[in-house]
Structure 1
Amino acid sequence: MSGVQTPSIDFDAFIFDLDGTLLDTADDLGGALNRVLADANVAPVAEHIYRPAASNGANALLEAGFGDKWPELEQLALRQQLLDYYAEDIAVHSKCFTGIEQLLIALEQNNIKWGIMTNKPGFLTEPLVQAIPSLSNAQAVVSGDTLSVAKPSPDPLLHTAEILEVDPSRCLYIGDAERDIQAAKAANMYSATALWGYIPSVDAALGWQADFNWHSPIDGFNHI
């Protein structure tokens, strides 16, 4: 795909990343992180610390919390502790970003298929999606461990397109991390950066050269 803001294109399917794209999950992830830190007698971290790490997995959150101490710690045990705490309270504060519900309704009204492809492991993806009523109509949900590889490999996106029964070149993938854009390009899908998500900065995100850069989910209406 071009990597340039292109004119309106009609798509057969939208595929979404989950954390930082469909859902604002940062406060639940941050809550789990701060429980781990409390157990280790480490001061809690504020939202501006954990939010940028929220799309990048458990290790990124823990590194944000422990800082320079992280390389010296029992990383596997702390990762499991974080995941256990998060699973206990997976949807206390998590909710759709403003505009997502309207976009999903519009897709359904226009008979455009939509699905979810996330690097989140399935044992967390499934209960989270089930807890959010607006996501109940997803026609495909593919997690980071559904296949043996995850993003930035294109394979999970290709698998999602196969479930949706849509040609990859007729799909648009929306995500808030560079690996999302890399995976979409490798899968021969169009890509859109969710600038409302957990991006490192707007300038950095624009440097990923997605086909579209959306400031709000409502920008998706231009492609329905």
Structure 2
Amino acid sequence: MSEPQDPIRVAIADDQELMRSALRMMVETQPDLELAGEAADGHEALALVRTKRVDVVLMDLRMPRLDGIQATAAITGERPATRVVALTTFDLDDYAFPAIRAGASGFLLKDARAEEIVDAIRTVHAGHAVVAPSTTRRLLEHVATAPAADSGRAADIRAALTPRELDTLLEMATGDSNAEIARRIHLSEATVKTHVGHVLAKLGLRDRVQAVVLAYEAGLVGHRS
């Protein structure tokens, strides 16, 4: 028999008590989730993560004293194993892009269905990223038109990856899934998944969303030579 899995410990950070209550009930109805605590602002969220084991934080981005973006940066810097799902009522670049750069592994609107939020918790805990489709599309458009970073960054990436891994990174920059990439480059989905894992590990990235941002910002996309 397989050993029972420990529940995923979830912290809720939101300055609105009604929202915290709704998220708390959502977490407590899931047998594989466990409430680790609640916070009304970024300082409380950071203190909670520092004193308790927290696997995933549901993080409101607009909070007093210390906002969710600053709290996300502090948490992911101090506790790399803790994942953050950013929640906001605003599907705006001003919130999505800084949250992802701060280390959030997920970005969802607060009006997402409960099942979507629960699935996002499980997905980021497993090491993957979750971003609302509309945000993903605009994220790609945003970083594609941003000024490229210095050429040394691209050279470092090329030096760190094998040719196949570099190709995989460029394919990831399309925003497509492993299955879609596998069909396009005629490899098995398992092989693509392995290459993706190597890319993330070698570049020290948390998930594929960060890989996409890096590929664009380093000026690699569109420069396959």
Specify if TM > 0.5: no
Provide the TM-score with structure 2 as the length reference: 0.31
Greater C-alpha Rg: 2
Structure with more contact order per residue of length (Cα contacts < 8 Å, sep ≥ 6)? 1
Provide the TM-score with structure 1 as the length reference: 0.31
